[in-house]
């Protein structure tokens, strides 16, 4: 940027008109005439500079401290200039700005340019400031647009970084969830093993139940056999009781019959003996009376026959007595046997009662055990089936969740890779554009310096 020094009246008028046109277009609200530029005065110049600095958002009062003290160094009686602090601060501010703008011919802005301004210097300084303001306004707008772009890119970058952090958190959460799912799957596997062990135990219980049922059936068959034996013993007992009832009467009748028969035989024997004695007497009498008679042999034969008959009756009587004794012995033996059978029968009755009670108790306990086993088996089957179904369902759900999480993780990883690649690309583009912009600025500054040197 350069300021042309007017070398003639025409150039001066041209510069004044350019300053006026630039001031009117740049600050239309600032009241100004061409005469104010051609013949500048103190108030106009100070108002113009203050207005331009205000538009540039520069506060000259900030330079009152150290800058004024530097300005007053080597001056005697500085208290005389205290009223001119603001004016000197304004001068120092304008000098600092104009020195940065590199005016042509090395013009140095001084206090006289505010107190007693020169038209040529004032036009040059005003034109420089107006050009700087227009340049700064254009560059500020461009820079604002670039800053907006940079801010937008920064916001995008911050959003992408936030997304990346969120993705990392979600990835960690998914990893934790995956670990939890694996732990849950391991727990479910352990529960499944427990259920399988429970199923094996149930099968063993069923086998034991079947074995116990077979044992119960064997006991029932044994009880049936014992019951049949008991029934046979009862029948035998009833028969023995019937025999016990009938035997004494039969024996008594037989004994009475034998006694009657024995009495009859004795009577017959006595009668035969009496008859034999009478016949013997008669025979003796006949022998004595009629010794030669022929009837003696007949009587003798009759006597011999009667004697044989008596002997036979005696033998029969002895046999009957022996038979009676044997029958009495048999009766006593039968009675003793009957008493033993009664004792055995009472013992068997007690055993039968005990066995029946034990059988009923065993039967009831076995029925109760079978009922409990059936209930336990049914409960175990229901519990096992329900729990197994729930476990299988939970395993399926966990597997589905793990698959969905893996798919989501794969999808998110791909999207994150794309976002990261786009982020890196945007950063590279932003960096390259900024580098190009800075290189362009440096090139423009070098060209401006070269043009200034050439001029």
User: Does the pLDDT at position 150 exceed 50?
Assistant: yes
User: Does the pLDDT at position 168 exceed 70?
Assistant: yes
pLDDT, residue 258, reads 65
Give the tens place of pLDDT for each residue, 263-293.
Answer: 777 777 677 667 666 666 666 665 555 555 4
Residue 1 binned pLDDT confidence (cut-offs 50, 70, 90): very low
Residue 44 lies in a domain: yes
What's the mean pLDDT in 226-240? 74
What's the mean pLDDT in 206-229? 76
Angstrom distances, CA of residue 127 to CA of 3, 7, 79, 121 = 7, 16, 35, 10
Q: How far apart are CA 212 and CA 448, in angstroms?
A: 113
Residue 74 binned pLDDT confidence (cut-offs 50, 70, 90): low
CATH assignment of the domain containing 92: 1.10.418.60
Residue 416 binned pLDDT confidence (cut-offs 50, 70, 90): low
pLDDT, residue 238, reads 74
pLDDT, residue 323, reads 72
Angle between helix 42-55 and 85-100 (nearest 10): 60
pLDDT, residue 287, reads 58
Residues 205 and 391: beta-carbon distance below 8 Å: no
- Secondary structure class of 107 (helix, strand, coil): coil
Residue 143 binned pLDDT confidence (cut-offs 50, 70, 90): confident
Contacts of 121 (CB under 8 A, 6+ apart): 107, 113
Residue 98 lies in a domain: yes
State the total domains in the chain.
1
pLDDT, residue 5, reads 45
Q: How far apart are CA 22 and CA 438, in angstroms?
A: 29
Residue 172 lies in a domain: no
Angle between helix 119-289 and 85-100 (nearest 10): 80
Residue 218 lies in a domain: no
What's the mean pLDDT in 405-423? 70
Q: Is 60 exposed, middle or buried (0-12, 13-18, 19+ CB in 10 A)?
A: buried
Provide DSSP, 134-201. Answer: HHHHHHHHHHHHHHHHHHHHHHHHHHHHHHHHHHHHHHHHHHHHHHHHHHHHHHHHHHHHHHHHHHHH
Angle between helix 42-55 and 119-289 (nearest 10): 20
Residue 110 binned pLDDT confidence (cut-offs 50, 70, 90): confident
Q: How far apart are CA 265 and CA 240, in angstroms?
A: 35
Q: Share the mean pLDDT of the chain.
A: 73
Residue 70 lies in a domain: yes
Helix/strand number for the chain, H first, E second: 8, 0
- Enclosing H/E stretch for 271: helix 119-289
Give the tens place of pLDDT for each residue, 364-406.
Answer: 776 776 777 677 767 766 766 676 677 667 667 766 776 776 7
pLDDT, residue 334, reads 66
Residue 106 lies in a domain: yes
Length of the chain (residues)? 455
Residue 142 lies in a domain: yes
pLDDT, residue 83, reads 56
Residues 383 and 265: beta-carbon distance below 8 Å: no
User: Does the pLDDT at position 6 exceed 60?
Assistant: no
Torsion angle defined by CA atoms of residues 395, 401, 405 and 411, in that order, rounded to the nearest 10 degrees: 120
Residue 24 lies in a domain: yes
Instruction: State which residues form the domain around 106.
Output: 15-165
């Amino acid at each position: 940027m350069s300021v042309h020094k007017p070398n003639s009246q025409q150039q001066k008028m041209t510069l004044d008109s350019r300053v006026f046109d630039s001031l009117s277009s740049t600050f239309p609200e600032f009241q100004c005439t061409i005469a104010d530029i051609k013949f500048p005065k103190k108030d106009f110049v100070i108002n113009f500079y203050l207005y331009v600095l205000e538009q540039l958002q520069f506060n000259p009062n900030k330079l009152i401290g150290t800058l004024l003290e530097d300005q007053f160094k080597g001056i005697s009686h500085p208290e005389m200039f205290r009223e001119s602090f603001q004016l000197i601060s304004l001068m120092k501010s304008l000098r600092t700005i104009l020195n940065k703008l590199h005016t042509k011919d090395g013009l140095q802005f001084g206090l006289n340019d505010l107190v007693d301004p020169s038209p040529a210097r004032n036009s040059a300084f005003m034109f420089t400031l107006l050009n700087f303001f227009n340049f700064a306004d254009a560059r500020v707008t461009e820079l604002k647009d670039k800053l907006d772009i940079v801010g937008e890119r920064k916001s995008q970058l911050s959003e992408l970084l936030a997304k990346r952090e969120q993705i990392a958190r979600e990835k960690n959460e998914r990893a934790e969830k995956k670990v939890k799912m694996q732990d849950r799957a391991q727990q479910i596997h352990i529960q499944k093993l427990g259920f399988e062990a429970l199923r094996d135990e149930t099968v063993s219980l069923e086998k034991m139940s079947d074995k116990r049922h077979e044992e119960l059936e064997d006991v029932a068959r044994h009880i049936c056999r014992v019951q049949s034996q008991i029934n046979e013993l009862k029948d035998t007992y009833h028969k023995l009781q019937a025999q016990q009832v009938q035997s004494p009467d039969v024996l008594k009748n037989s004994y009475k019959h034998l006694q009657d028969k024995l009495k009859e035989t004795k009577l017959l024997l006595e009668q035969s003996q009496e008859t034999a004695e009478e016949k013997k007497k008669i025979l003796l009498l006949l022998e004595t009376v009629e010794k030669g008679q022929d009837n003696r042999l007949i009587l003798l034969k009759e006597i011999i026959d009667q004697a044989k008959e008596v002997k036979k009756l005696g033998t029969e009587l002895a046999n009957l007595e022996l038979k009676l004794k044997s029958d009495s012995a048999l009766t006593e033996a039968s009675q003793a046997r009957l008493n033993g059978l009664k004792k055995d029968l009472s013992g068997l009755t007690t055993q039968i009662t005990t066995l029946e009670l034990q059988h009923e108790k065993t039967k009831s306990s076995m029925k109760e055990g079978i009922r409990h086993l059936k209930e336990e088996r049914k409960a175990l089957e229901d519990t096992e089936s329900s729990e197994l179904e729930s476990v299988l369902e939970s395993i399926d759900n966990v597997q589905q969740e793990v698959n969905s999480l893996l798919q989501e993780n794969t999808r998110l990883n791909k999207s994150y890779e794309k976002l990261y690649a786009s982020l890196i690309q945007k950063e590279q583009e932003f960096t390259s554009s900024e580098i190009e912009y800075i290189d362009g600025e440096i090139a423009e500054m070098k060209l401006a310096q070269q043009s200034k040197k050439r001029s």
